[in-house]
Amino acid sequence: MPRQARLDAPGLLQHIMARGIERREIFKDDKDRKSFLDRLATILEETQTQCYAWALIPNHFHLLLRTSLSPLSQVMRRLMTGYAMTFNRRHRRAGHLFQNRYKSVICEEDPYLLELIRYTHLNPLRAGLVKNLKELDKYPWTGHSTILGKGKNPLMPSYLSNNNRRRAGKSLAEKTVEDVLLLFGDNFSEARRMYRHFVRKGVDQGSRADLQGGGLIRSSGGNKAGLLGREKEDRELADERILGSGDFVAEVLGAANELEENRIKERIPIDQLADKVTSYFGIKIDDILLKSQRGKICEARSVICHMAINEMKYSGASVGKFLNIRRYSALRCGERGGGNT
């Protein structure tokens, strides 16, 4: 069954997860983790995307983001493609780093923002990377310690020196941490204490199916019994790409459809798209028309297919004709390219 298209619109809260191909490690050591966070920090500041929570696990990562005007697909493409190229060069490997495309679930803010911040930050504890909450408080590879004020915020771009910060004011990363603390109180010292108490209460909750998306059905833990007695028009709308009430699901779907129509109107010719992608990868456009499976050529071809088919809504046949490959191959390339976008 083909995947549903991603939903996206400015200002939406989205829970992102991406896993290494064949569940392999995408972070082998602290240098990898720092490289990923440095890249993420720059992208967040440049695109004005807020990151409320994050966690790096050896074979996957979690992000809780709110996009601004830059589409999520662009943010994730810059992050994942750039990191994959750096990782491959450093570890002398070739090919895809991430398994298929990243997963994104749009979340209704009022009932789920705090729950998802807690759930995301407890990932290292659930994965056994730390033994207890006390160790998690100082663990540098999740946003929990930053909110507690236990260390430097790794999502602060390195190019924002003290002088630049004085002129420009607080960075988006600093403002986002303050936004989280304000959910617990106006006094930041007390807010940190309340935040930690909130996180502690979630330690024993384990992996929660009710935070995985799917409207009211998923929000109720997958129990459909509560919906059976309702009239058809009163049943909650559900969509696995969205976590929230039926009204919220309907609102998001409506906004996404309108945005998708505008994107289709604004799509660029395939040859222009190919020129932009090949320039980014530092290869010639003629290279992708050959049936080479070399690393950069294969990755560039996959990104072109994904953007053309899934984002600009070109047919697989038209993309395959341009790239001199079969329609089915173009569709498969589009799926693989989603892991880098």
- What residue numbers bound the domain in which 284 lies? 270-340
Q: Tell whether 76 is covered by a domain.
A: yes
The count of domains in the chain is 2
* Burial class for 139, CB neighbours closer than 10 Å (0-12, 13-18, 19+): buried
User: Is there a single domain that holds both residue 193 and residue 62?
Assistant: yes
Q: Is the pLDDT of residue 37 over 60?
A: yes
Which two three-digit tokens encode residue 200?
């502690």
Residue 36: CATH number of its domain? 3.30.70.1290
Q: Is the pLDDT of residue 72 over 60?
A: yes
Give the pLDDT score at 224: 43
Counts for the chain of helices (H) and strands (E), in that order: 16, 5
105: which strand partners? Answer: 15
User: Is there a single domain that holds both residue 165 and residue 305?
Assistant: no
Q: Is the pLDDT of residue 260 over 50?
A: yes
CB count in 10 Å sphere of residue 300: 25
What is the total residue count of the chain? Answer: 341
Is-contact 305 323, C-beta < 8 A? Answer: yes
Tokens 């495309």 correspond to: 101
List Cβ<8 Å contacts ≥24 apart for 244-251: 244/106, 244/107, 244/108, 244/111, 244/112, 244/215, 244/219, 245/108, 245/111, 245/215, 245/216, 245/219, 246/215, 246/216, 248/108, 249/215
Instruction: Give the pairing of strands 50-57 and 60-66.
Output: antiparallel
Give the pLDDT score at 5: 58
Q: Tell whether 247 is covered by a domain.
A: no
User: Is there a single domain that holds both residue 187 and residue 47?
Assistant: yes
Q: Is the pLDDT of residue 312 over 60?
A: yes
pLDDT higher at 148 or 105: 148
- Using one digit for the tens of pLDDT, what is the confidence trace for 237-254? 555 677 766 666 666 666
Is-contact 16 104, C-beta < 8 A? Answer: yes
Single-letter amino acid, residue 276: K
Give the pLDDT score at 7: 65
Residue 53, SS3 per DSSP: strand
**What does the alpha-carbon distance between residue 152 and residue 166 come to, in Å, rounded to a whole number?**
17
- Using one digit for the tens of pLDDT, what is the confidence trace for 261-306? 555 555 788 888 988 888 888 888 888 887 666 677 888 888 888 8
User: Is there a single domain that holds both residue 63 and residue 161?
Assistant: yes
**What does the alpha-carbon distance between residue 241 and residue 338 come to, in Å, rounded to a whole number?**
16
Nearest Cα neighbor of 51 from 113, 1, 132 is: 113
User: Is there a single domain that holds both residue 189 and residue 287?
Assistant: no
User: Is there a single domain that holds both residue 187 and residue 278?
Assistant: no
Give the pLDDT score at 285: 85
